[in-house]
Structure 1
Amino acid sequence: MPDPEEAVTSLEELGLTEYEARCFVALTRLSKGTAKEVSQVADVPRSRVYDTIERLERKGLVSVQQTDPREYKGVPVETACQLLREDFDDRIDAAENALRQLETPESPEDEGVWAIGKREHVTERVVTFLEDAENTVQYLIPATEVVDDRILATLASADDRNVDLYLEVPTEADREDFAAAVPGATIAVAPDLERTNDVRGQWPAQLLMVDQRAILAAGLRESDLPDVHDEVAVWTYGRDHGFAVWIRELLDDRLADRDRKSG
């Protein structure tokens, strides 16, 4: 059986008040109705039906027939959903604009080291760093499975901007996959990145440095679910922070060592 209460709840979640949702659902169930009929079907006090219908009319959801007594008719469901969708999108746009005006830009001089949980948040930070890349990207990827289509697309975009890309991956098969996605990158096979015995159920996932400044180090850890791994990371913008200095020296040493071997 159809559930009017489910429809009412859904409309409330889209921004209608409870009385607006109840009156519109009632009119959807009726071909048309007077205030008395709407009140009875909607279980809304008759004295509140009039102002509620007036608001619904302003929203374009109800038509009013000037009879005696007045009769009301809801617009087709498809039309109502389109109007509600447009209104919802407008609300999101308004919220985004207001928040962007209040947002404090991230400072490149921030010396803090910040922690991130959840893979999608780690990916978002990697993408942000790569989008801001101007000169160089050094990227060690022990766990290539964490590099999703968004990261690959952002690497390709950096490649198009003539950013120098230096990638290290565990296997030749990984190198071929990344070379196909980012043809301008210098990609080396580094067997030492291959996963070995886990330490406390944790292992490295990715290590990224952009423009010798922005750094992210991420790892995978076993979760309570079978074959499911969580990704966590730390990141910083700080050039002089001890963590940043250590990572920069590590990556620069690897790059220099690779150049010596290739030379």
Structure 2
Amino acid sequence: MDGDELTAILEDAGLSPYQADAFVTLLGLGSASATDIAGASDVPDPRIYDVLRGLEEKGYIETYEQDSLHARAHDPADVLADLRSRANRFETAADEIEDRWSRPDLEEHKVSIVKRLDTVLTRADELIRAADNQVQIGLTPAQFRDLSDALTSAHESGVDVKICLFPEMATDPDIPSAEELASTCTEARYRTLPSPLVALIDRSWTCFSPHGDSTNEYGVIVNDRTHTYVFHWYFLTCLWEIHDSIYSARGDEPPITYVDLRQCLRDVEPLLKDGVTIEATVYGFETDTGREVTQRGTITDVTYTGHSTGEEQETPLFHLAGKASLTLATDDGTYTVGGWGAMLEDYEATRITIEALD
């Protein structure tokens, strides 16, 4: 390393340009008078005394009188320790910057990876209490009891709550009582196999953590409609569709409320085939503007990409996995109504209430 490079590094370490130049010069001279140091460096003669006193205060040199002011480099141990400490701090700072960049705070980004299940449960509790429309959640009985107060609060606020319970271990069928379920959810089902914790709130938030026997304990908290939509289909296919109901507050007489258009479509399709007039209110928003809307009218048709199975059998869920919509005739005109993620329809429905069947 040449003298100019060493001087530049010392400047980065906190010395002024004149101090760095004088110190590097003094290292080469060993000891010298102030005048000789000024002559061998680029430090102006009037500044040399102030520069040397500054270096002495920082511990780089020591001065002494010998007819005139002289200086010699201080024992470098302290200087070297300071430089190495600065290097370590820079390296630590670099690691911290990299760590903060790769694992950002939840408030600043849409996806957060956390290390503890408790963190996922705590965040799920907060989000469930703040829910406006729907909660879909798969969890163990122990986790159900951890979140029961939040689920009760959401249910009492009119939020549609669907719960899939599954055991911590395959041999543990500890199921909450009907009274507990009635106070916390709209409908509950039971899966006999252990599964990951997953909570979906208002089509926007997902809280996920793998099963307790997973190799690594971690959690994922997502604030994104697209990611949550993927988890929604995992919930439907793995935790809901194929499992038996253990509790339901739903009845067969209006008003009947749906937060899932596809379930609504399955129920109204046979009624339309029987010639029943279905009066409904659709709550949602316009797909092109995002403006919230409430429309009441008559459901006149259902459309989906799969083929009809006839009158004797409920349409399988996979037939509804593509485009699925209802047609609503109102006093203002006829509108197409899609479900979660609708793009081609006039409205994306967040809630549909069957008001009357005639």
Higher helix share: 1
TM exceeds 0.5? no
Q: How high is the TM-score relative to the length of structure 2? A: 0.33
Higher strand share: 2
- Which one has more relative contact order, counting CA pairs under 8 Å at least 6 apart? 1
